[in-house]
Structure 1
């Protein structure tokens, strides 16, 4: 369960703030001014103090935090818009290519192959039959069919070449669009890097201008020593966080004396032993 720390931070950033505090305490031994941790105040007490201080610490990095939040919102808005555009392009029913483009491509590839194979078979069989004695009557027919399929093969190859040329010219008009789409694909990476830089700047400012100075002042301020009585008042940059005990001093040791009722005993002297003015008659 997270404490209600750093009120001006968004809820999603409060766990990150707590992790930064823990990181600062974990690496505090590397800073000479924080070497006193554990003498009067331990790491657990200091962590509680920083989290309780809340905006007193985080406002030192308010500018960096605002930049970080703005950059993050822009990245999220761009990602949402990109997902919406992709949904329209993929689910809107837009036909990017004719329905017969797939069948045409298959015919363009298979026609030369099939026609060439038939031409080779017919020509081979026809010339073999021409070598026989007596020569079969349909040998010339086989040769004619072979040359026909040969011409068909040449025509199919020519048609495929023309189709490739037309496709290349058509696709050349969309190359600029492809380059723009590539630039858009690189844009999220740039925005992500910008977000990482903004986050690191906030973390650095929060540590150097907020958390570390707070810890240094807390260690140097004896009034917040939980083991010694101290008045409830802020000292230096440290707000009153409740790490003192109420004063239990007696009226004789300072402070305004209390008005207590007087309990003097009544005069119980007998008339026979009174003063000269009470002598018996």
Structure 2
């Protein structure tokens, strides 16, 4: 059944061993990382790792802001480069995909600089591979879109570009709003404990927006945004990356909820991890 429906939504796979391999690598890598989050093995830039790691002092660290800049800048430059140096002005789908990815990572960089609050540093040997992963995923998604043009692949019978644009805008807006709510909560806690050291990690239970229903609404909207990009793209790689991202963010959301339950005795058990009332 899936094999019959799938071709109506997705471009035929391009003749590219690289894109095919990256589709498998992106999906399995992200899914495995999500499972690792559930098992308690966290990437070394999260509050979970900062609280629990006993080996952090032996590693090279940068500030949280600098670490996030390292993570997001190469992917942003990949998107920007695709628009400036390799414009496919005759193909609206290519322009939309490249623009969406560029806007996505520009938003992240602006949030890093002006929105997010930081309570610790980041291990450099974690920032670099994460940065490389974002860069490779962004470049591959754009390259896969480029191949649909150069190889003359037939458009899918069902065009999802415009629903994809709406989903992308919803996702990026909802993600920003809940990041903003997190930043106001953290700035509030920081002002109340201004006399504490810079290493203070005074966390609160998030409130407002969908935080009343789920622990990680910013992840939920990030998923919606990537589903939007996949619908704009309609390539196998884009959907593979998005499905892998879903698995990763489910695992990370689950770990976040478990962390809040361990830190706050009165954390409401009715608040789910990612999807209101369900998950």
TM-score, normalisation: structure 2:
0.24
TM-score, normalisation: structure 1:
0.24
Structure number with greater CO (CA < 8 Å, separation at least 6) is 2
